[in-house]
Amino acid sequence: EPEVTQTPSHQVTQMGQEVILRCVPISNHLYFYWYRQILGQKVEFLVSFYNNEISEKSEIFDDQVSVERPDGSNFTLKIRSTKLEDSAMYFCASLSTTQKDLYGYTFGSGTRLTVV
Amino acid sequence: QKEVEQNSGPLSVPEGAIASLNCTYSDRVSQSFFWYRQYSGKSPELIMSIYSNGDKEDGRFTAQLNKASQYVSLLIRDSQPSDSATYLCAVNPVDDKIIFGKGTRLHILP
């Protein structure tokens, strides 16, 4: 069964450093999402991406964060200057164009980001 | 603000019994409803989706939806120790991103 893959599985970085989280969505999917989950808290929406541009972003998604689809397959989340409060699990998800509003997402295995 | 509310638990259920998990949502126009299972340190795994009022059964799982009461539930029959996890209720308002509840921790007692 097709799956969403994320790398790295765990990233430790110093505060103020840049990190790039990578995702390879399912190949025929066109809608992509990033969510995060701070330890013990709910899964929160960060950003949605369609047709090579951001379609919606949350208030968490500030000007230090960007998303790209650099090569037509990978989907990346970049945090330019990490803060301690960015420590969380980051999940990528994708969805096919068919009946977009009816299907739940397929999530990747996640990247645990630890900012020290 | 669109909200999805769940009792955080833990909910302890003896092995073989029925586990009942509940969820309410605030956005009356929501169309799609999902239950995800999340093991500690892992990503959410979709286990059920429901769109119409009533019950939907899939193996040991039954999802129930009552749009008038803005209420979704998940029943797990013949609970197994491997069902011990956090269950996330998720709601998709029309043409919007999925919103998650905080989850209910379920513990199946051997």
Residues of B within 8 A of A105 (CB-CB) are 46, 98
> Is residue A99 pLDDT above 70, yes or no?
no
Q: Is B82 helix (H, G, I), strand (E, B) or coil?
A: helix
Q: What digits encode the pLDDT tens for the residues A24-76?
A: 988 888 889 999 999 999 999 999 988 888 988 898 888 889 999 888 788 99
Structural contact between residues A3 and A107, judged by C-beta atoms closer than 8 angstroms? no
Range with lowest mean pLDDT among A6-20, A22-36, B54-68:
A22-36
Cα dihedral sign for A47, B100, A111, A13?
A: positive
Rounded-to-integer distance, Cα A6 and Cα A25, Å: 9
Percent of chain B with pLDDT over 70: 97
Q: Across residues A91-102, what is the average pLDDT? A: 76
φ/ψ region of B103 (left if φ > 0, alpha if ψ in -120 to 50, else beta) reads left
Rounded-to-integer distance, Cα B11 and Cα B76, Å: 12
Residues of B within 8 A of A102 (CB-CB) are 31-32, 49, 51, 92
A23/A53: higher pLDDT: A23
Measured between CA atoms, the residue of chain B closest to residue A92 is B43
- Predicted local distance difference test score (pLDDT) of residue A10: 97
